[in-house]
Amino acid sequence: MSESYAERAQALDTADELAKHRAKFALDEVVYLDGNSLGALPAHVPARMADVITRQWGELRIRSWDESGWWTAPERIGDRIAPLVGAAAGQIVVGDSTSVNVFKAVVAGTRLAGDPRDGRDEILVDATTFPTDGYIAESAARLTGHRIVPLDPAEMAGAVTDRTALALVNHVDYRTGRLQDLPGLTAALHEAGALAVWDLCHSAGALPVGLDAHGVDLAVGCTYKYLNGGPGAPAYLYVAERHQGRFDSPLPGWNSHADPFGMTPGYRAAEGALRGRVGTPDILSMLALEAALEVWDGVEIEAVRAKSLALTDFFLECVRAYVPAGRVESVTPEAHAERGSQVALRCAEAPAVMAELIRRGVVGDLRRPDILRFGFTPLYVGFADAERAARVLAEVLASEGSSAGSSQDG
C-alpha cells in the first residue's frame, strides 16, 4: 500500500502545474508543513536585501526615501497584495502588525457604523478567533462604548440585528482550518446595516478571497504565512474604496497626514487607503516582503486553491490508510467549501508526537492541548511531501505511545 500511495504522489507531482515554483524557495529535504505559521524563504530575497542594506541604506542613505521609493512602499506593496485577495488597487496599505491593524479596523469600523448611543452598540466577535483579535476587540469596545458579543461564526448571520455595528471574523479558523462563509456573512451584515471586518491571516495566498466582489468593508492580514514575507513581516489593512472618505483612523500618525512634511499641529487625513498609515514604515522588512511577493508573478490564485484542496484530500486519504485506527481524528472539515489550506488532527499525545515528527524531518506545529496542525503551501509543498508526512506520522504513532518524545508547544 505504501508503494501505491508513493507512486500516486509521484504521478501527481509530475502533473502539477505549480511544481516548478518550488525551486524559487530555499528548501532542504525536510517536509515543511508549517507555512501557515511562517512561510519558507524565497531564494532571491537575501541578494535583494543585500542591495537594500549595502546600496540603498549604506550608500544612498536618506536619499533612498525618494530615489529608492521607500516612501511609497506601503501603498505600492499593498497593490501587489491586492490581486491575491481580490481587491482593486488603491485599497490596501502595508504596515504595522496584524494586531495594530485589527485595532484600526474595529475602531474605525464602529465610527463608520455610527454613534453607539444611537443604537448600534454591539460588536460581534468570532468566539473561536485567534486570541489577539478578541483581546483587541474587547479593548476597542471599552474605548468606543460598545459591548462584545462572542459567537460561533456559524451562528453570526442569524444573530445580526439593528444593534450590530460590525462583526470581526477570521476567514479561516487557525486551529481547525475551517473556512468561514465570507460572502454569506458579509451579505447578512449588510442587510442589517452593519459592517464586515475580516481577518485574512490564514487565507490570503492560499485561496481566493474576493474582497471587492463580496463587498467586504474592512480587512486585515499578515504577510509571513502563505505570502512568505519573513518573520515579523508587516501586515496590511484593506479599506474598501467606498469607505475611504469617512475612514477615521484611531491612530492618526504623521504618515497618514495629507501634508506629512508640513509638520502642522492640526491633523488632516490623506486621501484613500493612505489613511491607514501611522508612523515611519519598517523599511527593511517591508522591502523583504516586496521582494518575496515576486514568487507570485504569473500564478493564479485559483490554481493555488485547486492544488491546496487536492493536497489536503490526498494527505487525509494517506492518514486514513497509514495511521493506526483510533489514534488521530481530523477536525478539519471534509467539505471543500468549508476547508482552508491546513489539516488539523486531534491526537492524545500531540506534544510528544509533534516533537518526534520534527525530529524525523516532518515539520508541522502544535496547538495545545491535542491538535497536530499541518499547513499546505501549494507553491512549494508537493504530493510526495504529503505522503511522506502521513507515513512518518503512522510510524511515530505505531512505535511510540505517550512517550513519543519531549513536549513542544506551537
pLDDT tens digits for 186-206? 999 999 999 999 999 999 999
Question: Residues 13, 148: one domain?
Answer: no
Q: Is 20 a catalytic residue?
A: no
Q: What's the confidence (pLDDT) of residue 405?
A: 40
Question: Residues 333, 286: one domain?
Answer: no
Q: Is 225 a catalytic residue?
A: yes
Question: Residues 91, 182: one domain?
Answer: yes
CATH number at residue 339: 3.90.1150.10
Q: What's the confidence (pLDDT) of residue 129?
A: 84
Dihedral sign from CA coordinates of 65, 66, 67, 68: positive
Residue 218 lies in a domain: yes
Q: What's the confidence (pLDDT) of residue 103?
A: 98
Q: Is the pLDDT of residue 334 over 50?
A: yes
Among residues 296, 311, 340, which one ends one of the domains? 296
Express each pLDDT in 242-252 by its tens digit.
999 999 999 99
Q: Is 48 a catalytic residue?
A: no
Among residues 264, 296, 328, which one ends one of the domains? 296
Q: Is 238 a catalytic residue?
A: no
Residue 85 lies in a domain: yes
Q: Is the pLDDT of residue 2 over 60?
A: no
Among residues 296, 330, 359, which one ends one of the domains? 296
Q: Is the pLDDT of residue 404 over 60?
A: no
Q: Is the pLDDT of residue 407 over 90?
A: no
Strands (E), 84-194: 92-94, 122-126, 147-151, 164-170
Residue 68 lies in a domain: yes
Instruction: Give 253: exposed, middle or buried? Use CB within 10 Å, 0-12, 13-18, 19+.
Output: middle
Express each pLDDT in 29-38 by its tens digit.
999 999 999 9
Residue identified by cell 467606498 is 242
Q: What's the confidence (pLDDT) of residue 44?
A: 98
Q: Is the pLDDT of residue 158 over 50?
A: yes
Rg (CA), the chain: 22
Residue 404 lies in a domain: no
d(CA 374, CA 397) in angstroms, rounded, equals 16
Residue identified by cell 498609515 is 277
| DSSP code at position 83 | G
Q: Of 5, 25, 32, 130, which is the active-site residue? A: 130
Question: Residues 74, 164: one domain?
Answer: yes
Q: Of 34, 96, 173, 199, which is the active-site residue? A: 199
Question: Residues 143, 203: one domain?
Answer: yes
Express each pLDDT in 240-276 by its tens digit.
999 999 999 999 999 999 999 999 999 999 999 999 9
Range of the structural domain that residue 385 is part of: 2-18+300-399
Instruction: Specify the pTM.
Output: 0.95
CATH number at residue 284: 3.40.640.10
Q: Is the pLDDT of residue 1 over 90?
A: no
Q: What's the confidence (pLDDT) of residue 399?
A: 84
d(CA 69, CA 63) in angstroms, rounded, equals 9
Q: Of 225, 277, 339, 391, which is the active-site residue? A: 225
Q: Is 409 a catalytic residue?
A: no
Number of separate domains in the chain: 2
Express each pLDDT in 208-248 by its tens digit.
999 999 999 999 999 999 999 999 999 999 999 999 999 99
Q: What percent of the chain has pLDDT over 90?
A: 95
